[in-house]
């Protein structure tokens, strides 16, 4: 069995390639069919997936938008597990103001279309999803990166008499 995001002791799945996008989109559609009829589909995928994967999932789901900060009623893929011709996807979905967990199981393979076998709604409250779109993740990494102050003046230097080199002011004058 392979998983994404990685789970200790299990092989890592690569959901950027088939059947990853197909089963993630299928799980979002199934969770929405069961619990969210009449609401727009806003979805979230695990962090670290390529932008092309987000686009493919949106296209496969249909009229769907990726989650943005502040989005409500989000269907969020939490984990993907694939073993041969069986795949399971955990989706967090909104219900009566509380996010819950649902597992959607698929059967399929290289020569067979992936089809929902069953969906199980766990009675387990889940935390509200945080947007993982590539743009959001880039913004988070930019915000977390330390930035050096930008100055338009050169760093102060002191010339040592009788020598032709310059040294930083703090090296020759520790008190400054």
Mean pLDDT by 10 residues, the chain (176 residues): 79 85 97 90 94 95 94 96 95 94 96 96 94 70 49 45 46 48
Domains and CATH numbers, the chain: 2-138 (3.10.450.630)
For the chain, give the number of residues.
176
pLDDT given at position 83? 92
What are the angstrom distances between the C-alpha of 3 and each of 73, 77, 151? 25, 12, 47
* Structure confidence at residue 15 (pLDDT): 87
pLDDT at position 161:
46
- pLDDT at position 9, please? 79
pLDDT reported for residue 152: 45
Q: CA nearest 28: which of 84, 83, 98, 80? A: 80
């Amino acid at each position: 069995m392979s998983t994404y995001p990685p789970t200790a002791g299990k092989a890592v799945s690569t959901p950027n390639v088939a059947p990853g996008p197909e089963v993630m989109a299928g799980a979002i559609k199934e969770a929405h069919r069961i619990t969210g009829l009449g609401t727009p589909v806003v979805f979230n995928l695990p962090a670290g997936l390529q932008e092309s994967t987000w686009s493919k999932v949106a296209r496969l789901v249909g009229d769907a938008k990726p989650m943005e900060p502040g989005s409500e009623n989000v269907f969020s893929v939490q984990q993907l597990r694939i073993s041969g011709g069986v795949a399971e996807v955990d989706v967090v979905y909104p219900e009566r103001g509380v996010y819950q967990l649902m597992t959607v199981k698929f059967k399929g393979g290289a020569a067979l279309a992936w089809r929902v076998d069953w969906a199980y709604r766990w009675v387990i409250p889940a935390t509200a999803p945080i947007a993982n779109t590539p743009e959001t993740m880039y913004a988070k990494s930019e915000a977390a990166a330390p930035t050096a102050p930008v100055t338009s003046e050169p760093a102060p230097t002191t010339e040592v008499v009788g020598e032709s080199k310059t040294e930083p002011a703090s090296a020759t004058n520790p008190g400054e």
